[in-house]
A and B are shown apart, each in its own frame.
Chain A
Amino acid sequence: MDLNLIKPMHDDYTDYLRDESRAIGQADSISFPKNEYEVASLLKTLYAQGTPITVQGARTGLAAGAVPRGGHILNLSKMDHIKGIRQSADGHFHITVEAGTILSQLRKRIEQKKFDTADWTNESQQAFEAFKDEPALFFSPDPTESSATIGGMVACNASGARSYLYGPTRDHISGLRVVLHDGQIAALKRGDYTASGRTLSFPTLQGNQITVDLPTYIMPKTKNASGYYIEDHMDAVDLFIGSDGTLGIVTEVELRLQPLPQTVWGITCFFSEEAAALDFVISARDTMNQLASVEYFDGHALDILRYQKKHNPGFSKLPILPDHVNTAIYVELHCQEETDAVEGLKTIGQLLEKAGANPNDTWVARNESDRDRLLFFRHAVPESVNMVIDQRKKTNPMITKLGTDMSVPDQHLKQIMAMYHRMLAERNLESAIWGHVGNNHLHVNILPRDDEDYKKGKALYDEWAAEVTRLGGAVSAEHGVGKLKAKYLEVMYGQEAIEEMARLKQYFDPKGLLGAGNMIEPVKGEVSQ
């Protein structure tokens, strides 16, 4: 191995100690391998030395999964080649990319059908010719940060607004290559290696057979990105998706593409009463099949936007919010035919009236420029909240945003919303709530004004984790567990399940060096927020 790959940490690399969660870690060295061979060599060397290894992509994660806890940072951002296309027997096209490929760049290439195919195999080049003749295709997962890497999205099983219809990243992965702790490589295609009950077995390219007993816990029947994905007869591919870099290093991902809907209409509906908004959500998801996303913004989030529009020139382009509204629901219709979208729009009008809302209080986006305006509106909410926090941090560095990522089953939506509002009011905490209400998956953001608020918020977070668990929900529905939510895994699954997870991890990582601190709560923490 080229020993120059391992570079000691210095000031130029400070950014690599943090991610979007704003947690800051520490490390002794960093590397930017350019291919799988280098990853395997690095892993063998570092593992033999007993060095903790934290894998990084674009560091857009919100759970500090990419924040190092000492040791080495293995940054995969230089592994961004698109390696080929294949067409499976069922007609689907699959694209193979290296883990460091950036989502936005991949999307652009798929949209333009432009790839550098010089190094592709003949089979790939032939499939590419067929791909060019195919109607437009897309890779649906849409995390807020489109600068995420595909590897990062696999690590936390990322979702996004449209996962309401299309499901999370997991549902669109048809294969992986994983470098294991000893440098062996597993090349896994979905369907090739499935567990017998809860015993999973798959080969490595080096000719060894990996056989492992899987944990016995049952996952909640709700949107979930908490803990290892475990099911009877599960696919080996699924074990590594959402494993936060704790079982091996994913170097290559095969994505399954699907037809791009020809008609995409976005509709923001405004309500004067939150109860009406929730009634609308419940009836819409019961009756409509064109919904790709169902998003929610509470009155505090809307007030923050009103303030920003008035006082911050960067937000002056926000559309004017009606004065009398305190809740917004954004729905997106995905249809092949425009007539279906029109029918969907008519249904939405009826459901709004039934819920007691005024259909005139809507913004409908049917073209790109209007969709961009609505996207700007939706992204302005978290951005504004971050600005409020950054402002407060200037006077009190201890202050940081507390954002939840919990989901519950459908029947508990109203109950969980009422609980959030009641408890926030009882503790007199400033907050803004938004998120994927279609999946009963809300991001409750507590905006602490001082240390006391921060402590109260943390305590509330613990209480909510317990209550969400009691309702059969998940403590992390899309951001993954990383380091920040590790302690809630035990609340969600119980001590026995955590021990099973630890045993599973130990099988793949006997020295406990991979993704140290992610998912399994370490004995003592070094990452601080």
Chain B
Amino acid sequence: MKIAVCIKQVPSTNEVHMDPVTNTIIRDGKQSVTNPFDTYALEQAVQIKDHLGGEVIALSMGIPATERLLRDATSRGADRSLLLSDRSFAGADTLATSYTLSLGIRELGGVDLILCGKMAVDGDTAQIGPELAEQLGLPHVTDVLAIDAIDEQTVLCRKATDNGYQRLKVTLPALLTVVKDLNMPRMSSLPGILYSLDSPFESKTAADLSADPARIGLNGSPTQVVRTYVPQRIREAIVLEGDESQLAEDILNIYSEVI
């Protein structure tokens, strides 16, 4: 079975840095990590490969530094990786990104199964998985919390709902987005790391993919972010000292300021 896992580079800290002009997240590759939800997708893909044989390909659209995270995926069981990287991809919203990723899947010659994390922890849209499936004309299931059975033709999975789960059988090829705790992502092994250093890695540009310039990057993004900001932390602890009357006065002053 040929499985593609979509991987996104996200900032490792909660405080992201925004470009004040484009209102998009500045991604400089420093301190970035694999989107945590994607690590569960990767683990599931590797478990399916261990069960059915085949190959796992890690796929990402991102800056050149994303190669580090794709090679990390190959240290945890992926066989090879494909990076879609081009300045013209910058500023893409979910529509442009899913279009670009669909070109990546076609570049791979099609796959039997695509696994994505349910969402990225920086954008929180949860749109890429469904949109990618639509771009490719594939069936998809979101919020998968377990895969009960899989063979070359179908997958039987459980989709989390507000009240429990639905059990769904889907014909392959298909796309699933997974929630966390679907499995326990493995640590890299020593041979895995050594393999990843020389593992097959390809990087493709917009031209390589024959991408439509009107459908990629900012040009292909109808979404306009008007303003994004990091909320200011306003909690503060103050230690008051003094005698009782002083303390009472201080507390009263603080209340007056706040109310």
Interfacial residues of chain B within 1-48, with CB under 8 A of chain A in the complex: 12, 33, 36
| Structural contact, A360 and B189, CB atoms closer than 8 A | yes
| Structural contact, A364 and B190, CB atoms closer than 8 A | yes
- Choose from A269, A342, A369 the contact partner of B197 (Cβ within 8 Å): A342
Interface string of B150-162 (1 = CB under 8 A from A): 0000000000000
Interface string of A301-321 (1 = CB under 8 A from B): 000000000000000010110
- Choose from B189, B191, B193 the contact partner of A366 (Cβ within 8 Å): B193
CB-defined contacts of B168 to chain A, threshold 8 Å? none
Contact segment of A99-107, A209-217, A343-351? A343-351
B75–chain A nearest beta-carbon distance, Å: 8
| Structural contact, B187 and A373, CB atoms closer than 8 A | yes
Interface string of B178-200 (1 = CB under 8 A from A): 00000010111111111001000
- Choose from A267, A317, A367, A369 the contact partner of B190 (Cβ within 8 Å): A267
B177–chain A nearest beta-carbon distance, Å: 21
Give the A-B pair count, Cβ closer than 8 A.
Answer: 55
CB-defined contacts of A319 to chain B, threshold 8 Å? 184, 186-187
Task: Give A404 to B173 CA distance when docked, in angstroms.
Answer: 59
CB-defined contacts of B190 to chain A, threshold 8 Å? 267, 269, 345, 348-349, 352, 359-360, 362, 364
Task: Give A362 to B189 CA distance when docked, in angstroms.
Answer: 5
| Structural contact, B33 and A367, CB atoms closer than 8 A | yes
Known A-B contacts A367-B33, A368-B12, A369-B33; A320 and B184 likewise in contact (beta carbons under 8 Å): yes
CB-defined contacts of B36 to chain A, threshold 8 Å? 369
Interfacial residues of chain A within 323-374, with CB under 8 A of chain B in the complex: 342, 345-346, 348-349, 352, 359-370, 373-374
B58–chain A nearest beta-carbon distance, Å: 16
| Structural contact, A363 and B33, CB atoms closer than 8 A | no
| Structural contact, A359 and B191, CB atoms closer than 8 A | yes
B179–chain A nearest beta-carbon distance, Å: 16
CB-defined contacts of A367 to chain B, threshold 8 Å? 33, 72
- Choose from A268, A345, A369, A374 the contact partner of B193 (Cβ within 8 Å): A345
Chain A residue nearest in CB terms to B183: A320
| Structural contact, A363 and B12, CB atoms closer than 8 A | no
Chain A residue nearest in CB terms to B12: A368
A435–chain B nearest beta-carbon distance, Å: 22
Task: Give A268 to B186 CA distance when docked, in angstroms.
Answer: 13
CB-defined contacts of B194 to chain A, threshold 8 Å? 342, 345-346, 349
Chain B residue nearest in CB terms to A341: B193
Task: Give A267 to B188 CA distance when docked, in angstroms.
Answer: 10
CB-defined contacts of A366 to chain B, threshold 8 Å? 72, 188, 193
| Structural contact, B193 and A364, CB atoms closer than 8 A | yes
CB-defined contacts of A364 to chain B, threshold 8 Å? 75, 187-190, 192-193
B135–chain A nearest beta-carbon distance, Å: 31
CB-defined contacts of B187 to chain A, threshold 8 Å? 268, 319, 363-365, 370, 373-374
- Choose from B33, B184, B191, B197 the contact partner of A360 (Cβ within 8 Å): B191
- Choose from A320, A363, A373 the contact partner of B189 (Cβ within 8 Å): A363
Which of A346, A352, A364, A374 is packed against the most chain B CB atoms within 10 Å?
Answer: A364
A460–chain B nearest beta-carbon distance, Å: 36
- Choose from B72, B75, B184, B191 the contact partner of A349 (Cβ within 8 Å): B191
B41–chain A nearest beta-carbon distance, Å: 16
CB-defined contacts of B186 to chain A, threshold 8 Å? 319
Task: Give A254 to B36 CA distance when docked, in angstroms.
Answer: 41
CB-defined contacts of A317 to chain B, threshold 8 Å? 184
B65–chain A nearest beta-carbon distance, Å: 14
CB-defined contacts of A349 to chain B, threshold 8 Å? 190-191, 194
CB-defined contacts of B72 to chain A, threshold 8 Å? 366-367
Task: Give A346 to B197 CA distance when docked, in angstroms.
Answer: 12
Task: Give A317 to B181 CA distance when docked, in angstroms.
Answer: 9
Chain B residue nearest in CB terms to A317: B184
Task: Give A434 to B187 CA distance when docked, in angstroms.
Answer: 22
Chain B residue nearest in CB terms to A373: B187
CB-defined contacts of B33 to chain A, threshold 8 Å? 367-369
Task: Give A236 to B190 CA distance when docked, in angstroms.
Answer: 46
B23–chain A nearest beta-carbon distance, Å: 27
Interface string of B194-209 (1 = CB under 8 A from A): 1001000000000000
Chain B residue nearest in CB terms to A363: B187
CB-defined contacts of A374 to chain B, threshold 8 Å? 187
CB-defined contacts of A369 to chain B, threshold 8 Å? 12, 33, 36
Task: Give A271 to B33 CA distance when docked, in angstroms.
Answer: 30
Which of B36, B72, B194 is packed against the most chain A CB atoms within 10 Å?
Answer: B194
Chain B residue nearest in CB terms to A266: B187
Chain B residue nearest in CB terms to A268: B187
Task: Give A320 to B47 CA distance when docked, in angstroms.
Answer: 14
Task: Give A230 to B33 CA distance when docked, in angstroms.
Answer: 49
Task: Give A21 to B75 CA distance when docked, in angstroms.
Answer: 42
Interfacial residues of chain A within 394-418, with CB under 8 A of chain B in the complex: none
Chain B residue nearest in CB terms to A352: B190
Task: Give A361 to B192 CA distance when docked, in angstroms.
Answer: 11
Chain B residue nearest in CB terms to A349: B190
A368–chain B nearest beta-carbon distance, Å: 7
Which of B186, B190, B194 is packed against the most chain A CB atoms within 10 Å?
Answer: B190
| Structural contact, B188 and A370, CB atoms closer than 8 A | yes
B154–chain A nearest beta-carbon distance, Å: 28
Chain A residue nearest in CB terms to B32: A367
B210–chain A nearest beta-carbon distance, Å: 35
Task: Give A370 to B189 CA distance when docked, in angstroms.
Answer: 12
| Structural contact, A363 and B188, CB atoms closer than 8 A | yes
A492–chain B nearest beta-carbon distance, Å: 40
Task: Give A362 to B75 CA distance when docked, in angstroms.
Answer: 12
B256–chain A nearest beta-carbon distance, Å: 27
B68–chain A nearest beta-carbon distance, Å: 10
Task: Give A317 to B194 CA distance when docked, in angstroms.
Answer: 26
Interfacial residues of chain B within 46-60, with CB under 8 A of chain A in the complex: none
Which of A268, A352, A369 is packed against the most chain B CB atoms within 10 Å?
Answer: A369
Task: Give A267 to B192 CA distance when docked, in angstroms.
Answer: 12
Interface string of B60-79 (1 = CB under 8 A from A): 00000000000010010000
B143–chain A nearest beta-carbon distance, Å: 21
Task: Give A352 to B189 CA distance when docked, in angstroms.
Answer: 13
Task: Give A367 to B9 CA distance when docked, in angstroms.
Answer: 14
- Choose from B75, B184, B189, B197 the contact partner of A359 (Cβ within 8 Å): B189
Interfacial residues of chain A within 482-528, with CB under 8 A of chain B in the complex: none
Residue pairs across A and B with Cβ atoms less than 8 A apart, 9 shown, are A319-B186, A320-B184, A345-B193, A360-B189, A360-B190, A364-B75, A364-B193, A368-B12, A370-B187
Which residues of A approach B to under 8 Å, CB–CB? 267-269, 317, 319-320, 342, 345-346, 348-349, 352, 359-370, 373-374
Give me 16 other A-B pairs in contact (C-beta within 8 A), A342-B193, A363-B188, A373-B187 excluded: A267-B190, A317-B184, A345-B190, A345-B193, A348-B190, A349-B190, A349-B191, A349-B194, A360-B189, A360-B191, A364-B188, A364-B189, A366-B72, A366-B188, A369-B12, A369-B33
Nearest 10 A-B pairs (CB), nearest first?
Answer: A363-B187, A362-B190, A359-B190, A364-B188, A362-B189, A364-B193, A349-B190, A360-B189, A359-B191, A364-B190
